[in-house]
Every structure is written in C-alpha cells, then in structure tokens.
Amino acid sequence: MRSDADSLAAVLDRLVGPRKRVTVFGPAPYRDLEPLLARFDADLVHESLPVPESKGYLTVSEGESYLGSVPAAAFGELVDPARAAPWDAETRASAFRDLTGLLAGTEFSATDRRHLLATSREFEDRAYRTGRGALHAGFQSLSAFRSQYPVYERLADETDLDVAVYGEPDWEPPEAPGVTVRTAAGGELGEFWVLAFDGGGDPAMACALIAEATDPDEPGRYRGAWTYDPETVEALVDYLDRAYGERNP
C-alpha cells in the first residue's frame, strides 16, 4: 500500500532503489560513455572481450538479476540522446529509451539538462501514445516552461490528457484548453524538475521523474531518479494534487 508523501523531496527518496551494476563488454573501455555512466549511483565495470569495438555492449543488473543490455552500436546515442518532440519517431525507438528503462530507480547526478530533457521526452511520449489520464510537469519556473509551451499545448489539444504545469510565477502562459497552470512562489517548486504520468488507467504506462537542483549558483546541476512503479507515481500525483491543486482550480 502506498504511503502519502509530504514533499517532493520525500517522493524523490522513495524513487531511489537498490544500487545497480553496469558492465561494459569490449576490447577496451569506451571512454566517451564513462562520463554518462559515472553520473549514476551504480557499480561500473569493464570486462575485456576480444571483439571489434562495434560489437561490444553493456549490461545492467541488480543483485543476481540481469535486467537487459544495450549494444555498442548505440553508445553514441546514449552520450548525445535525441531530444525531439514526444510524438517524433526518433523519440520512440532509441537506445537511450532502453537505458532509461534499465536504470529506473537509480539515483543520478546531472550537470546539464540534455539527458533530463531526453528522459522527459520519453515520458511525454508515453502520455501522448496513451492519450488519456493526467500528465504533471514541473519546470521550476514558468519562464522555463515558455520554450516548451507549444509541446504541451499540442499534447493537450491532440489527446484527452489533463495537463498540469507547475513553476514559480515569473511568466504568465497563454491559456490553452486542457492545460492547468499551478504556481507557488518561494517554495519547493523552484527547486525541482518534475514529470509524472499516471498511466491513464494502464499501470504499465505510469512513470515519473524528479530531479532536485543542488546548487543555486550553478543552474543545471541536479540529483534525482525516475521510476515506472505505479504506486510511487500515484504517491507523487496525489501529493501534487493535494499541495497545489486547490490553489489554482
């Protein structure tokens, strides 16, 4: 049974699961990949394999459980993932999307927004494909939402999604049918990047991402995690509705 959350920080703590192990197989370490993998709270291992570099791969495991793999041919995509619109085919078929699934529940640190945006696109696409349910998105500030406004306007216009957007009130977005803006000044909303989709009645589609800004003097530094656990997603959605829903009916 889920427990009620009383803050975004509490939900983030709940998102973090057991430590994982990422093993890269190949003739030599893939140096371009190491900075990405090092951001995760995981044991990183290289296993020498006498194959061409293009034939290597990585695996992710948790304890004795093998979770899956990604081929070396797709490593470049992991380093620089696509950040196309959620309905774009490039978003729907990607190695980064596969790695996102394998590393769910693994705490990460980030020093830029590229990988957070790529993960957000994957979750937005799940909501778009489902076409119903509730999608919650926290941008820290509404001015940061400005560049994403056309994406969310289209998400609401082309589906039956109920979209709620959160942030510090430093910009007033144009009204868009199906999009509700929820604000609160001077609190936790300014510290967290949040995305949650309740699954639209399908628990297998539920997903959530929370990333907390860790250095006010260096924007773009975060710690966070994501999850596909429907109970954890429900706890986050319930908290957002309880904490901010009544302020902007």
What pLDDT was estimated at residue 92? 60
Angstrom distance (rounded) from CA 144 to CA 121: 16
The answer to whether 105 touches 17, Cβ cutoff 8 Å, is yes
CB neighbour burial string for 179-191, b if at least 16 within 10 angstroms, e if fewer:
bbbbbbeeebbbb
Which burial class, exposed, middle or buried, applies to 143 when counting CB atoms under 10 A from its CB (0-12, 13-18, 19+)?
Answer: middle
What pLDDT was estimated at residue 249? 39
The answer to whether 144 touches 117, Cβ cutoff 8 Å, is no
Q: Provide the residue count of the chain.
A: 249
What are the angstrom distances between the C-alpha of 168 and each of 28, 142, 194, 243?
A: 47, 6, 13, 14
Query: How many other C-beta atoms lie within 10 A of the C-beta of residue 195?
Result: 24
What pLDDT was estimated at residue 248? 45
Q: Going edge to edge, which strands form the sheet with 20-26?
A: 42-48, 20-26, 57-62, 65-71
- The partner residues of 134 in beta bridges, in order of sequence, read 162
**First and final C-alpha spacing in the chain:** 28
Run of H or E residues at 139: strand 134-141
Mean pLDDT split into 10-residue runs, the chain, 249 residues? 73 92 95 90 94 95 96 86 68 76 92 82 93 97 95 96 96 95 93 97 96 85 94 95 72
pTM for the full predicted model? 0.91
